A and B are shown apart, each in its own frame.
Chain A
Amino acid sequence: MKIMVAVKQVAFLDDEFEIRDDGRDVGEDFFEKDLNEFDHFSVEQAMLIKEAAGGDAEVVIVIVGDEDADDALRTALAKGADRGIRVWDDALAEADGIAVAKVLAKLVEREKPDMVFTGAQSADFGSAVTGMALAGFLGWPHAAVVSNLDYASGARTATLRRELEGGLEEIMTIRCPAVLSIQLGINQPRYASLRGIKQAKQKPVDELSLDDLGLSAAEVAPASRVRRMYAPERGKAELITGSAAEQAARLAEIIKELRGM
């Protein structure tokens, strides 16, 4: 029995930042990196299943990223996962969710897990596409934004609940293996102490390249490309004070100003 959890290292913006010279991203200095918030929940869900099975399940954390991403990978490993796999190639530098899903699909073929979890989305880009694209490539059953899961290690089906628009919820039974993207709040993620993170350095991590997975750079070319990133212009607000007459006069002034009268 094996559960694969795909995680991502995301960037957090400082509230004062500058756009990179090429105008396509924020300067590297202005963000801090960390394990994606949603992935704390997907890793925890895998750990709960492993623990319920009396430890008789392997949890493999996979991540697509450069050496920097090791921190996020180790944080996930520190929560009790058994081993990790990190895939990197410079050709992945601009990878979007679809490209990452292609890489993950190769990893699934290689690892043959009984269940795959991803976070419902990433906290930085929020495309929410990787998990579902992965299921698409694999032709596996899938469910997105899972907020409750009833699945025992090695079971042939899983029963889950997911949130829909308008406050609706859907309960479904899904055939396994499947790809599930996990929503925040499904559980209470455990804390990875710094000591645990340090000790997770001793856990086995496979570092793979695209070659190892039989993928070419062309195959992982992003389907989308960021053209420009910019801070939208700020709106204006003004507190109008004074007597009713004064306030009305000021209001009229503003309307005229805006309409160019």
Chain B
Amino acid sequence: MFFEHDPQDVTRILFQNFPTWMAVRFYLIGAAACVVFAYGVWTNIRKYRRGVRSGAWSPFWPRVWQMVATVLTHRTIKRRAEAAGRSHSWIFYGFAALFVGTSIITLEHDILEPLTGLTFWYGWFYLAFSAVLDLAGVALIAGLIYMMYRRKLLALPRLDYTRPDRSPGDPDYDRSGYRREDWAFLWTLIAIAFTGFLLEASRLVWLQGDAVVWDYRWFSPVGTTTAYLMKALGLGPDGAAQLRLGLWWFHGMLALLFIALVPYTKVKHIFTAMGSLMARDTEAKRRMPTANVDGERIGYSVLTDFTDKYLLNLDACTKCGRCHEACPANASGYPLSPRDLVLSLRELANDTLSHAAMPKGPITVSGDGVNMIRSETLWSCRTCAACVEICPVGIEHLPMIVQMRRALIEDGDFDPMLQLTLKSLQKSGNALGESKRKRPRWTKNLDFEIKDARTQPVDVLWYVGDYASFDPRSQKVTIAFAKILHAAGIDFGILYEDEQTAGNDVRRVGEEGLFQALAAANIELLNSCEFSSMVTTDPHTYNTIRNEYPEFGGNYLIEHASAMLERLIREGRIPTPVNLNYRVTYHDPCHLGRINDGAEPPRQVLRRLGVDLVELRRIRENSFCCGAGGGRIWLADPPAMKKPAELRAAEAAEIAGLDVLVVNCPKCLNMMEDGVKGSGNEGKFRVMELIELVQEAMGLIGDTTSDDGDNVLREAGAPA
């Protein structure tokens, strides 16, 4: 093709036919746009740096590579929104290619050529460049159109920013400004893309007589098609020259305006999301931040208590609404949406930390004012980590909530019911207001003695946990697990009266001082015992001992009961169970399935039991919390509210012919039994622990301990 022309001539002449003053004016405007952009970037960075330094971006390079991989694959954006993720990737790659293309031109024209005389933007490179950018423009437009369709015609509830926890008339109620910003963003970007094509087409029409342009037109397929259209409409070279000049300025100004506005609008997520993904803590859902309990203050009560990373998190939110949709509190009508929490704090930060001078007084975060976080919002959280898990840009809502709760606990801003629980925990190490001596009383229902791990070495130390020790319904499961371990010939023991709650929920409710005291006492005790591994039936206990105790000097190998059962069955240590003829479904506990990757072992166990497992709609890492976590099991749900467990029970009830809803956590058991009753499904199916099914399959039912939980207490000598 180049046989007829010098490849050097096959290019686009920049500022072709521009008078000098016009090119100069363009450069001046371009420089101004860059200054406005840079100033905006700086004010944002200044805002983040007004938080507490976190060091969350180091080690720098490994974090960069991880972030780049996440962004390039769109891994997090595609989750649970395949179409949106795909469209976003078109916009992303289209925009990125166009941006890189423009930068290449700048590199040659404004840097390399004036400095070294080097040029490369011609010939084959130029033609390939033209084709790629045409494609990029198409991708960009297609992606943007889908996003418009998604907003206008799909009208997804998760994209409605109206706050369910505010009333009409509240200044932060409908937030229509966000919607307008969304549309302005889409229209601006699509206008830039369209005018780009029109500009390209008008140039072709204008220069149709110039062979080095016209002969290579099909390397710009969209521009050329549009050019033919223009010609068909009667546009000649002279008119096209006029049009081209007008479009050139319109397109250029719009693009520069866009660049200048990046740091001031939602477009900033290009950078903030990357920064946020880089700083992401993969342990954020498992381990709450450790606080200095001897310090003067604790938790986050003012905005400047937030770390720079969390302040950046606030700006990274793209309002995609996935957390809003995943949140069990929001789904049940509680005044909490993780998205709204983040957006409120963002607005608060913009109002207070964006200016040259800091506000005079402290910037209180909890309260009833505009953009402040209400205490009932913080107390609605179940710490199920569904929000952290699904956030495509790595926002860590949960640790922020726990930090704010710590300040509320210190101020006494919480439900009086919780005070009784915390006092009971302080006094006797359990949340149920029981005495320490009562903790091992369930063992009296066994026809064998459980070893005392405090005084003799055991192979497996079983950390029983609060609900499993005291709750009459859970005691049946606890007894069943003891019998299974006994039957499997496991050398195991418990800590009897000296076990205290491990503290998972104590920490998540915000009583960090009490958590650390419990952890220290438990670790001291555990370290004085001789054992090779630990087991627990409670995923909350499991999570804390596994992920939070190491920081306090407790390093143990711990298994959840379901993983241990799976292993024992696989190794043949539990006699091959008989098949159970049930249709079952399985509810993943948050602290196992989502937070600790423990979704598979319980399913393996169910498979071995031969039951017909029909999955729920929301499973594994997308499980829907029963509503017990974060200390909520200690608080009453207002009667007018739907409980998360009721929604979950209704979900299970959709399964035709369901016999058993299998749970795998003492707290889930407690909540789901209530949820089945509360949702009007009592009698339709049973709620059983996985352990109980194993017990049944092993034929261990029917001896001394098949009675109900009431007997456990009565026989143990409770007063009549």
List A contacts of B435 (CB < 8 A): 12, 14-15, 32
What's the Cα separation between A14 and B419 when bound, in Å? Answer: 21
> Looking across the interface, which residue of chain B has its beta carbon closest to that of A189?
B419
Q: Is A247 an interface residue (CB 8 A)?
A: no
Q: Is A165 an interface residue (CB 8 A)?
A: no
Contact with A along B414-440 (1 / 0, CB 8 A): 101001001100111000000111100
Is A195 touching B427 in the complex (CB atoms < 8 A)?
A: no
Total B residues in contact with A, Cβ cutoff 8 Å: 27
A14, A195, A198, A199: residue with the most chain B Cβ atoms closer than 10 Å = A195
Known: A15-B438, A32-B436, A193-B511. A198 touches B294 (CB 8 A): yes
List A contacts of B427 (CB < 8 A): 12, 32, 34
Q: Is A191 an interface residue (CB 8 A)?
A: yes
Dominant secondary structure at the B interface: helix
Is A190 touching B298 in the complex (CB atoms < 8 A)?
A: no
Contact with B along A32-69 (1 / 0, CB 8 A): 10100000000000000000000000000000000000
For chain B, residues 498 to 535, give those with C-beta under 8 angstroms from any C-beta of chain A.
511-514, 517
List A contacts of B419 (CB < 8 A): 189, 191
Q: Is A16 an interface residue (CB 8 A)?
A: yes
Q: Is B412 an interface residue (CB 8 A)?
A: yes
Contact with B437, one of A14, A197, A237 (Cβ below 8 angstroms)? A14
Contact with A along B393-419 (1 / 0, CB 8 A): 000000000000000011010101001
Total A residues in contact with B, Cβ cutoff 8 Å: 20
List A contacts of B719 (CB < 8 A): 15
List A contacts of B720 (CB < 8 A): 234, 237
Is B513 touching A190 in the complex (CB atoms < 8 A)?
A: no
Q: Is B718 an interface residue (CB 8 A)?
A: yes
List A contacts of B428 (CB < 8 A): 32
Number of A-B residue pairs with CB-CB distance less than 8 Å in the complex they form: 59
> Looking across the interface, which residue of chain A has its beta carbon closest to that of B296?
A199
Q: Is A249 an interface residue (CB 8 A)?
A: no
Is B416 touching A188 in the complex (CB atoms < 8 A)?
A: yes
Q: Is B293 an interface residue (CB 8 A)?
A: yes
What's the Cα separation between A14 and B718 when bound, in Å? Answer: 10
Is A190 touching B412 in the complex (CB atoms < 8 A)?
A: yes
Q: Is B117 an interface residue (CB 8 A)?
A: no
For chain A, residues 180 to 212, give those with C-beta under 8 angstroms from any C-beta of chain B.
188-191, 193-199
List B contacts of A14 (CB < 8 A): 435, 437-438
What's the Cα separation between A15 and B298 when bound, in Å? Answer: 37
List B contacts of A195 (CB < 8 A): 293-294, 298, 410, 512-514
Is A194 touching B437 in the complex (CB atoms < 8 A)?
A: no
What's the Cα separation between A237 and B719 when bound, in Å? Answer: 13
Output the least CB separation between A183 and chain B (Å): 17
> Looking across the interface, which residue of chain A has its beta carbon closest to that of B410?
A193
> Looking across the interface, which residue of chain A has its beta carbon closest to that of B414?
A191
Contact with A191, one of B422, B517, B717 (Cβ below 8 angstroms)? B422
Output the least CB separation between A177 and chain B (Å): 29
Known: A32-B427, A191-B419. A198 touches B412 (CB 8 A): no
Is A193 touching B717 in the complex (CB atoms < 8 A)?
A: no
What's the Cα separation between A16 and B298 when bound, in Å? Answer: 39
What's the Cα separation between A145 and B350 when bound, in Å? Answer: 52
List A contacts of B426 (CB < 8 A): 194, 197
Contact with B294, one of A30, A190, A199, A237 (Cβ below 8 angstroms)? A199
Is A193 touching B409 in the complex (CB atoms < 8 A)?
A: yes
What's the Cα separation between A76 and B426 when bound, in Å? Answer: 14
What's the Cα separation between A52 and B412 when bound, in Å? Answer: 17
What's the Cα separation between A164 and B61 when bound, in Å? Answer: 74
List B contacts of A196 (CB < 8 A): 410, 513
Output the least CB separation between A154 and chain B (Å): 26
Contact with B along A202-239 (1 / 0, CB 8 A): 00000000000000000000000000000000100100
Known: A32-B428, A191-B412, A193-B514. A198 touches B438 (CB 8 A): no
> Looking across the interface, which residue of chain A has its beta carbon closest to that of B422?
A191
Output the least CB separation between B256 and chain A (Å): 54
Is B438 touching A194 in the complex (CB atoms < 8 A)?
A: no
> Looking across the interface, which residue of chain B has its beta carbon closest to that of A237?
B720
What's the Cα separation between A193 and B717 when bound, in Å? Answer: 33
Output the least CB separation between A107 and chain B (Å): 27
Output the least CB separation between B305 and chain A (Å): 16
> Looking across the interface, which residue of chain A has its beta carbon closest to that of B506?
A194
List B contacts of A237 (CB < 8 A): 720
List B contacts of A194 (CB < 8 A): 293, 426, 511, 513-514, 517
B294, B410, B435, B512: residue with the most chain A Cβ atoms closer than 10 Å = B435
> Looking across the interface, which residue of chain A has its beta carbon closest to that of B436?
A32
List B contacts of A197 (CB < 8 A): 426, 513
> Looking across the interface, which residue of chain A has its beta carbon closest to that of B713?
A15
Is A16 touching B437 in the complex (CB atoms < 8 A)?
A: yes
Output the least CB separation between A180 and chain B (Å): 23
What's the Cα separation between A16 and B436 when bound, in Å? Answer: 11
What's the Cα separation between A14 and B438 when bound, in Å? Answer: 8
List A contacts of B410 (CB < 8 A): 193, 195-196
What's the Cα separation between A34 and B717 when bound, in Å? Answer: 24
What's the Cα separation between A109 and B410 when bound, in Å? Answer: 35
List A contacts of B293 (CB < 8 A): 194-195, 198
Output the least CB separation between A71 and chain B (Å): 10
Output the least CB separation between B163 and chain A (Å): 29
9 CB contacts below 8 A, A to B, read A15-B719, A16-B437, A32-B436, A191-B422, A193-B513, A195-B293, A195-B298, A195-B512, A198-B517
Given A15-B717, A194-B511, 8 other A-B contacts at CB below 8 A? Answer: A14-B437, A16-B438, A191-B412, A191-B422, A193-B511, A194-B513, A198-B513, A237-B720
Residues in chain B within 8 A of chain A (CB atoms): 293-294, 298, 409-410, 412, 414, 416, 419, 422-423, 426-428, 435-438, 511-514, 517, 717-720
Shortest 5 CB-CB contacts between residues of A and residues of B? A195-B513, A194-B513, A194-B514, A190-B412, A14-B435
